Amino acid sequence: MKMTKDMTAFRAVAEARLNKIFAERHAAILGPLYAVHARKAADAACVVASDVSSLLLAPEAKRRGVSEKTLAAQVLIRANRQSAILGLLEAERQDAQAEIAAAKSPAELDSILAVHGG
């Protein structure tokens, strides 16, 4: 009689570990001021699109000696750069999920996690 391991539980544990690894990597990219940066990006998009003023961006623009529209453009460039990096990281996470789903052994799962920082 041949014994085979049920990989379901092993995959669930690996998936949870993978999510923790990538949550930490996402947090490192986003940084502790993510909520402020996200709000600045939303306000910047409005400033660029409709020439409205932003209570969040106006004081910073004045302090820096630039127009609000110039600051808004700079904020959007940084936000887009961050989005591109996050997009690459998310693609890597999804690839790792597919590898976990196809893994045939617990050792293979460990190897997959090691490649991705776990």
- Residue 51 above 90 pLDDT? no
15 part of a folded domain: yes
2 part of a folded domain: no
pTM: 0.81
Total tally of structural domains belonging to the chain: 1
Mean pLDDT over the full length of the chain: 94
66 part of a folded domain: yes
Overall average pLDDT of the 47-65 stretch: 96
For residue 39, the enclosing domain spans 7-115
- More reliable by pLDDT, 70 or 4: 70
1 part of a folded domain: no
Sign of CA dihedral 13, 99, 97, 110: positive
- Residue 79 above 60 pLDDT? yes
Overall average pLDDT of the 26-50 stretch: 95
